Amino acid sequence: MDIKIPFDVQTYQQLQYFISAEAKYQEININKPFPFLVNGNFDSLDWHIIDWKEGDLEHSHAKHIQARLNGTKHNTKERVLGFYSNKHHAI
């Protein structure tokens, strides 16, 4: 399903609130993490992915930071995969 993000959603916190409210409206259980896609034009986009080594079963904040690839893009059109969770910081 395609859902337009309102123009007044400009910050990370506003996007989190919008996704949560829309998920509730769509009857998605917000107590479990779920994926979402955002397509659009971004003035600035901070991104990161986790490049976890296969077979590594030790999960810690330090290992998460170590396995992270990240960057910033400006004035870009992108398709972004995100994960919403109200129980995990910065999922």
Q: What is the DSSP string of 22-39?
A: HHHHTT--TTS-EEEEEE
Beta strands in the chain (DSSP E): 34-50, 68-84
pLDDT tens digits for 30-59? 999 999 999 999 999 999 888 888 888 888
Q: What is the rounded distance in angstroms from the CA atom of residue 14 to the CA atom of residue 27?
A: 20
Rounded percentage of the chain residues whose pLDDT exceeds 70: 96
Instruction: State the pLDDT at residue 78.
Output: 96
Q: What is the rounded distance in angstroms from the CA atom of residue 10 to the CA atom of residue 44?
A: 11
- In this predicted model, which residue has the larger pLDDT, 58 or 3? 3
Displacement of CA 65 from its chain's centroid (Å): 16
Token pair, residue 7, equals 């123009």
